[in-house]
Amino acid sequence: MIDKQFVLSVLNKTLGFPIVDIPRIGKVAKLSAREAFLYSTLTAHGYLDTSEPENRFFLKRDYYRVFNQAEEFELQEGLMSISDLSFSCTPTINIVDKPYIRGGSKYILPIEYTKYASFLGQLDKVSAYLKGKSGKSPHDFVIVPIRAGQSKVSEFEAFFEYIISFYFSKLGYFSDTQIPFYYAVGTPDAAIYDIPKLRAALKKNGLGQKGYSLIELMTITTFGLDTFVASENSDLVDSAVFEVKTLQKSAPQIKKYIETGIFNKAFEVIPFKGYGEDYAGLIS
């Protein structure tokens, strides 16, 4: 079962985000505006905004897709409009719409609930308090909805995909959770790539010395450079693919991804599993 403590523990102990205690709000994970943008985009957890339907503004990673079919380069409506090839969804466009995305520290706030109506009511109360004398803006909070008691782990598949993306980017990889569809194969949940020439080009042009999520690369002009520097590592694999499962004990379809010849390594991502299969590694 996933609860508030689980989410905060993973963000803190696995990814290194500090936990702070805000009066009348409780414990939250503190992220920079850039980090929160990536978190919100990959998890679909929205910024607290009572002017929006469901009291949140959602950034959806589907909007940043470019190609629909792998190896066919068929454009998909998303980052660009296929009608005139103009940019239709970029971080800059999102921030023009919602300027609060760009500034200040952000906080990941898990909220447990039993009924959705009561959850929306909690968001109203939290927003009203923050608009008062709290010294913080409601828009600085990204909400993690958790159905208390019987929260479906399946609702957190995107959360685990985010963990993979963030963790391996910090090791120098370029990560992707928007992989185009493969006919008769499917779509992997996440992948990482070692691209030394791209990393060298970024470094040469003053754009950092680390890996990135491909979506995060779009934010450099908006948020500036990332100060993190990945340690030199000669043991990186060329590429690896990941399949997240939260209701199954195995992900045998990952063998199809290996058979494409694109990925060197494969990993199941199963939060409750204690051992790996012979066809893939395990992140648990």
The DSSP string of 193-242 is E--HHHHHHHHHTTS-BS--BHHHHTTHHHH-----BPPP-S---SEEEE
Q: Are 20 and 100 part of one and the same domain? A: yes
Nearest of 215, 214, 246, 209 to residue 231 by alpha carbon: 209
The helix (run of H) or strand (run of E) holding residue 243 is strand 239-244
Task: Give me 99's structure tokens.
Answer: 């300027």
Residues 172 and 136 grouped into a single domain:
no
E strand residue ranges, 9-147: 19-22, 26-31, 47-48, 56-57, 106-113, 141-147
Confidence of residue 185 (pLDDT cuts 50, 70, 90): confident
**Phi, psi for residue 37 in degrees, rounded to 5:** -60, -45
| Shared domain check, 192 and 138 | no
Same domain for 49 and 135?
Answer: yes
Taking the alpha carbons at both ends of the chain, their separation in whole angstroms is 14
Do 9 and 145 share a domain, yes or no?
yes
Cα separations (Å) of 242 from 120, 141, 165, 174? Answer: 34, 29, 10, 14
The pLDDT of residue 151 is above 60:
no
Task: From residue 58, give the alpha-carbon distance in Å to each of 41, 177, 178, 191.
Answer: 8, 17, 17, 23
- Cα distances (Å, whole numbers) of residue 177 to 64, 207, 216: 10, 22, 11
134 lies in the same domain as 212:
no
Residues 37 and 108 both lie in one domain? yes
Cα angle 255, 60, 185; round to 5: 20
> 139 and 181: one domain?
no
pLDDT at 262: 86
The tally of CA atoms less than 13 A away on the side-chain side of residue 212 is 21
Tokens of 259: 């058979």
How much is the pTM? 0.89
* Res. 229: pLDDT tops 70: no
Looking at 151, 184, 219, the residue that finishes a domain is 151
The predicted pLDDT at position 146 comes to 92
Boundary-marking domain end, from 151, 172, 196: 151
**Residue 27 CA neighbour count, 13 Å, CB half:** 13
* pLDDT bucket at 117, cuts 50 / 70 / 90: very high
Does residue 99 sit in the same domain as residue 231?
A: no
Query: What gap in Å lies between CA 172 and CA 168, rounded to an integer?
Result: 7
Residue % of the chain over a pLDDT of 90: 42
Last residue of a domain, one of 151, 173, 201: 151
| The pLDDT value given to residue 109 | 98
pLDDT band at 144 (very low <50, low <70, confident <90, very high): very high
> pLDDT value at position 231?
61
Q: How far is CA 101 from CA 78, 120, 162, 177, in A?
A: 20, 21, 18, 21
The answer on 164 and 144 residing in a single domain is no
- CA 92, CA 223: separation in Å to the nearest integer? 10
Domain residue limits at 168? 156-283
Domain match, 142 and 223 both: no
Regarding whether 141 and 117 lie in a shared domain, the answer is yes
Structure tokens at 137: 């803006």
Higher pLDDT, 66 or 233: 66
Q: How many domains, the chain? A: 2
* % of the chain beyond a pLDDT of 70: 93
pLDDT at residue 276, rounded to an integer: 80
pLDDT single digits (tens) 29-77? 999 999 999 999 999 999 999 999 899 999 877 777 777 777 777 777 7
pLDDT of 150 higher than 60: no
pLDDT confidence tier of residue 233, bands split at 50, 70 and 90:
low
**Predicted pLDDT at 164:** 93
For the segment 121-142, the average pLDDT, to the nearest whole number, is 91
Average pLDDT, the chain: 86
pLDDT (tens digit per residue) in 208-223: 667 788 888 888 888 8
Report which of residues 88 and 213 the model is more confident about: 213
